[in-house]
């Protein structure tokens, strides 16, 4: 990846959690095999692993994402949607992983089903990007004000959730939240 280029993995199977992790880290770190290993560590006695699809196609849950980030000295902070995104201290957040509803399609046919989808957002070269693996390429969101609007719009969906990707010490001291806002 050359300087100024934005790393962006595209959707394959049900591996959106892996793509979101790699996109937020801006490098290929995790694979299906590493995610499957994490699943086995999380549920070593289970014949059917509760942290991934029974079909072996991915569909990893939040526990896999959190364990993967911990292996990189990072943490995932679950965002309380009752707070306003204005209370985020953006300089302390390395990126965002969102879980949003997504339409299911077979080729060009869209089915009347809704599934959950993981996507990443992060700053690269001073601009924030939507790094959703279902997109053909990264979409520039803009600066901090545009990011706050984007996140607010995403979180306004009833079932959308957001994880803040932060360094472990930032999670521990709570500095991802602006000090003028109560914890």
Q: Is 161 exposed, middle or buried (0-12, 13-18, 19+ CB in 10 A)?
A: middle
Select, from the ranges 19-33, 91-105, 108-122, the one with the highest average predicted confidence (pLDDT).
19-33
* Average pLDDT of the segment spanning 33-45: 74
Q: What is the pLDDT of residue 32?
A: 83
Catalytic site positions: 16, 117, 132
Q: What topology does CATH give the domain 15-173?
A: Cathepsin B; Chain A (3.90.70)
Tokens 């992060």: give the residue.
122
Please state the domain extents for the chain: 15-173
Q: What is the pLDDT of residue 153?
A: 92
- Cβ-contact 93, 121 below 8 angstroms: no
Select, from the ranges 102-116, 133-147, 168-182, the one with the highest average predicted confidence (pLDDT).
133-147
């Amino acid at each position: 990846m050359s300087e100024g280029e934005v790393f962006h993995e595209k959707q394959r199977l049900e591996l959106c959690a892996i793509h979101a992790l790699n996109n937020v880290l801006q490098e290929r770190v995790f694979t299906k095999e590493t995610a499957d290993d994490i699943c086995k560590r999380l549920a070593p006695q289970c014949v059917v692993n509760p942290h991934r699809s029974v079909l072996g196609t991915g569909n990893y849950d939040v526990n896999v994402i959190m364990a993967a980030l911990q292996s990189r000295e990072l943490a995932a902070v679950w965002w309380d949607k009752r707070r306003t995104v204005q209370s985020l201290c953006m300089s302390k957040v390395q990126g965002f992983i969102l879980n949003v509803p997504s339409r299911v399609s077979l080729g060009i046919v869209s089915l009347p089903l809704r599934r959950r989808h993981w996507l990443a957002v992060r700053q690269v070269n001073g601009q924030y990007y939507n790094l959703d693996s279902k997109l053909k390429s990264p979409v520039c969101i803009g600066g901090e004000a545009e990011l706050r609007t984007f996140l607010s719009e995403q979180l306004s969906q009833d079932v959308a959730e957001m994880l803040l990707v932060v360094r472990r010490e930032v999670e521990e001291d709570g500095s991802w939240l602006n000090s003028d806002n109560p914890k």
